[in-house]
Structure 1
Amino acid sequence: MGIFLKNKNYRKFTVASWLSNAGNILFYLALMTYASKLKNYALALSLISITEAIPDLLQSISGYFADKTRNKFKVMIWLAIIRFVLYVAVGILFVTNLAGWNLVLMVIGINFISDLAGMYSSGLQTPIIVDLVGENEISEAQGFTGGIFQLITMGAQFVGSALLLFMSYSTLAIVNALTFLMAGLMFANIAASLKKSQTTKTIQTVNERNFFTTFKTSIKQASEAHGLLTVVIVVALLNGLLSAIEPLISISFAANRGMLLGTYSFTIALFGAVVSIGTALGSAIGTKLLEKTSLFIIILLDTIASTCMIIAMINKNTIACLIFGAMLGFFAGTAGPKLIQWLVTSVDRKILASSMGAVNTILAIAGPIMTTIFTSIVGASSLNYALYGLLVVGVIIFIVTFYVMLKSQKSSEIDPEVEVNN
């Protein structure tokens, strides 16, 4: 928190990121709510979830181009303006005569393009944040801002749920567009401030290597960091499980109206809120409470919580889903900041975004695959078949994680006190 209060440019930079993300959350909830009212809502919700997950697979590419970008601030500003224009277009679409699937497919496409731009922008931001706060402070900075972001996510979901009661989908799209415009203006202000104080030297660091050389170097440097890749592979399996749970619980709420606590949008917002609170608590205090706890123990606990949540979904127990959702968030939030610190201190600054993208791609690759598989099962057969299949996967991941933990401890390949993001 001290860094956030003392470092003016980092504070403005963080607020700008919060703004654009909060607007995105508002509109995502609106789109999910609109799609839930379609006749074939399961397919619509599945398509939204899949297109939201696909950009994660492209982080290596977006990170590479981010490292090669010379004027990072200028490109970030233009990306914010492009996303502003995209959501103004979405707002216009919602007031046309288009309806149902035609509208949803067009909006999903625009949202996908915006997410790709957002992924590129995130890659540009990574080395800038390190330059603004310094390598030694990145864990503390990201832990605090990450926790606050989760609280903002929670607030945005509840605000979005409330706004949907009296505000149109078109208006919410325009609100989202305005948050991107405001973020772009703040980025421009920070860039001008840094240029005036002549502190942009390291931010202009550019990677001149080609993609394959960069990717190879990134993986090599990551593998040289003690046990990183072994941990990443295990965590990737868990990420796939957690990614598949999100759309399935949205479908569960839509299919079982008895699970709703009020309206559909409010229930989705409530679930997102408890996950956000758990993640915020994990970022703020979990890293201290579990400082000496083995990473694998945290992964095992997360796997147990996710398995229990699937059982709660099968039994249509909304309260239990909320409790275990909070636990999932807590363990994820506990691990997050350590991964960033680890990467920043292990790789060359010129390929920082590429290295971050490579690791994140490995972490994320199971998500879209498992999301596609289990949402397809819902469409082809039933929700229960998908949930039982996901339960089996959860048990398998627990067994694999436990086996790798024992093997790693015996061979001393991984320091048990190392923590990474899950």
Structure 2
Amino acid sequence: MKKILKNTTYLWVLTADMLSNFGDVVYYLALMNYVLLVPNSRLALAIVTFSEIFPSFMGLFTGYLADKTVNKIGTIKLTLLFRVVLYLILGFCMGFEPALWIVVVAATFNVFADFAGFYENGLYTPLGLRVAPKEEREQYSAFRKLLTEQPLKIAEQPSQTEQKTKGPGILASFKQAIVELRKIPEFRLVLITNPLINACGAILYPILVLLISEDPDLVFLNVETTLALTILIFFIGHILGSTLVFTLFKKTSMVTLEVAATFSLLGVFVGMLLHQLPIIFFFLTTMGISSGASGPKFNAKFVNSMPEEQLATIGGAVSTYFMLGQAFTRLLVSGLVLVLTVDQISGLFLTATGLLVLYVFYWLARNQKTPQNQSV
């Protein structure tokens, strides 16, 4: 760890990543607050949710593009500048009276900002892997996640040298990624549960925004504070999970953490259906802890198992696979918010998560072992 702290280049891009991610969180929080100010908040929420479908398919292309980029540091600077310009323009637009057209502009800008963000994430990892011994990559990944507060990042790759390498095409990489991951026992459950957890987790915040708009009693102090606390609590749990990778969760398996995340997601939907903010906050914390701890383990196992010259391309394919469910649920919710009550939507996803929990029980029983103390 001392080596990573002495590497000024790595710390510079890590700081830039941290500020970029913080900006993304603030932007999303401001956007959701703005949605509640628009007269037709349900339609505004549907537009924002629909716009978030497109990033689900970006990882495959941006990972491939990141592998082909030679000047990674210079490109990272350009992506940061591009996003700053987008946010400045959007900030100017939001100075006008709240209106639906501004929501459309914000949703469009969000797609471009997400594309730049995915591409940026695909460019970062080489700098870390240059100073990360193979046996310590789990701790390096945890260190980065601890500072950047990012949920599970898949599209990470090692340094790309100037030597030309011929890898598989984008679609071939998608198939290759799934085949390679299925060869690793720890990934078999993750390949099923993670896309479904991502799918249900992706619409937690839009549902909560709708819940707050229809149930003023759910608000803690005010709407802005409630929404900010929702994000803050998850990230605090995420930071705690990333920290505990070094100690408490050092020998805990990905399977154990994946099971914990599944049950936590179920608890969040129970809290939403009951309109109980304490229950929602508690299970958001446990979900943050489990995802914060599982991310470094997945990343370390992933970068040590895949061919390095194709890691971003394969990683982008895996990222796309894990996010396909998000595209479906966001498309579904963007329509459901216009026709169903928030309780009906919560009940629908509670049922889906309950079925996922039953599958986890089935998987554990079929493998005739519990995930406890199974080291990754």
Provide TM-score, normalisation by structure 2.
0.88
C-alpha separation between the residues in 1 aligned to 2:332 and 2:28? 22
Q: CA deviation at 1:45?
A: 2.4
C-alpha separation between the residues in 1 aligned to 2:221 and 2:52? 26
| Superposed counterparts of 1:371-410, under 5 Å | 371-409=330-368
Residue type at the aligned position of 2:146:
G
Counterpart contact for 1:310–1:391, Cα < 8 Å: yes
Residue type at the aligned position of 1:32:
M
Residue segments in structure 1 that go unaligned for 5+ positions in a row: 154-199
Q: Secondary structure at the match of 1:82?
A: helix
Counterpart contact for 1:276–1:329, Cα < 8 Å: yes
Q: CA deviation at 1:328?
A: 1.0
Is 2:258 the partner of 1:318?
no
C-alpha separation between the residues in 2 aligned to 1:59 and 1:220? 18
Corresponding residue of 2:154: none
Q: Secondary structure at the match of 2:203?
A: helix
**Same amino acid, percent of matched pairs:** 24
Corresponding residue of 1:242: 201
C-alpha separation between the residues in 1 aligned to 2:268 and 2:189? 26
Q: CA deviation at 1:203?
A: 4.8
| Superposed counterparts of 1:286-301, under 5 Å | 286=245, 288-301=247-260
Which range moves more in the overlay, 373-382 or 203-212?
203-212
Q: CA deviation at 1:364?
A: 1.5
Structure 1 301/219 Cα, relative in aligned 2: closer, same or farther at 3 Å? closer
Residue type at the aligned position of 2:102:
L
Deviations 1:290-341 (A, max 9, x none): 3444533333332222222212212211122111111111111111101110
Structure 1 203/408 Cα, relative in aligned 2: closer, same or farther at 3 Å? farther
Deviations 1:263-294 (A, max 9, x none): 21111111111111111111111563234445
Structure 1 206/380 Cα, relative in aligned 2: closer, same or farther at 3 Å? farther
Residue segments in structure 2 that go unaligned for 5+ positions in a row: 152-157
Corresponding residue of 1:72: 72
C-alpha separation between the residues in 1 aligned to 2:172 and 2:75? 24
C-alpha separation between the residues in 1 aligned to 2:180 and 2:163? 18
Corresponding residue of 2:226: 267
Deviations 1:117-142 (A, max 9, x none): 11111112233322243433322122
Counterpart contact for 1:72–1:203, Cα < 8 Å: no
Is 2:166 the partner of 1:208?
yes
Q: CA deviation at 1:387?
A: 0.7
Deviations 1:53-90 (A, max 9, x none): 53133211211111122222232222222222222322
C-alpha separation between the residues in 1 aligned to 2:288 and 2:372? 24
Corresponding residue of 1:196: none
C-alpha separation between the residues in 1 aligned to 2:292 and 2:179? 27
Structure 1 288/376 Cα, relative in aligned 2: closer, same or farther at 3 Å? farther
Provide TM-score, normalisation by structure 1.
0.79
C-alpha separation between the residues in 1 aligned to 2:111 and 2:297? 30
Structure 1 359/279 Cα, relative in aligned 2: closer, same or farther at 3 Å? same
Structure 1 112/308 Cα, relative in aligned 2: closer, same or farther at 3 Å? same
Corresponding residue of 1:350: 309
C-alpha separation between the residues in 1 aligned to 2:346 and 2:361? 23
| Superposed counterparts of 1:167-182, under 5 Å | none
Is 2:81 the partner of 1:124?
no
Q: CA deviation at 1:243?
A: 1.7
Corresponding residue of 2:18: 18
Number of corresponding residues: 369
Corresponding residue of 1:30: 30
Counterpart contact for 1:294–1:416, Cα < 8 Å: yes
Could you list the structure 1 runs, at least 4 aligned residues long, displaced by more than 6 angstroms after superposition.
none
Structure 1 57/212 Cα, relative in aligned 2: closer, same or farther at 3 Å? closer
Counterpart contact for 1:18–1:149, Cα < 8 Å: yes
Structure 1 229/296 Cα, relative in aligned 2: closer, same or farther at 3 Å? closer
C-alpha separation between the residues in 2 aligned to 1:133 and 1:13? 15
Is 2:136 the partner of 1:137?
yes
Residue type at the aligned position of 1:115:
D
C-alpha separation between the residues in 2 aligned to 1:42 and 1:201? 45
Q: CA deviation at 1:418?
A: 5.5
Corresponding residue of 2:183: 224
C-alpha separation between the residues in 1 aligned to 2:132 and 2:39? 50
Counterpart contact for 1:127–1:353, Cα < 8 Å: no
C-alpha separation between the residues in 2 aligned to 1:206 and 1:112? 31
Corresponding residue of 1:51: 51
Deviations 1:370-405 (A, max 9, x none): 233234223212111101111111110001111122
Residue type at the aligned position of 1:208:
K
C-alpha separation between the residues in 2 aligned to 1:247 and 1:102? 19
C-alpha separation between the residues in 1 aligned to 2:174 and 2:313? 7
Structure 1 28/201 Cα, relative in aligned 2: closer, same or farther at 3 Å? closer
Corresponding residue of 2:103: 104
Q: CA deviation at 1:9?
A: 2.0
C-alpha separation between the residues in 2 aligned to 1:244 and 1:388? 13
Counterpart contact for 2:127–2:159, Cα < 8 Å: no
C-alpha separation between the residues in 1 aligned to 2:69 and 2:164? 7
Structure 1 319/48 Cα, relative in aligned 2: closer, same or farther at 3 Å? same
Residue type at the aligned position of 2:336:
I
Corresponding residue of 1:63: 63
C-alpha separation between the residues in 1 aligned to 2:333 and 2:24? 25
Structure 1 67/415 Cα, relative in aligned 2: closer, same or farther at 3 Å? farther
Counterpart contact for 1:312–1:321, Cα < 8 Å: yes
Which range moves more in the overlay, 260-269 or 133-142?
133-142
Structure 1 348/296 Cα, relative in aligned 2: closer, same or farther at 3 Å? closer
Structure 1 394/201 Cα, relative in aligned 2: closer, same or farther at 3 Å? closer
Is 2:299 the partner of 1:340?
yes
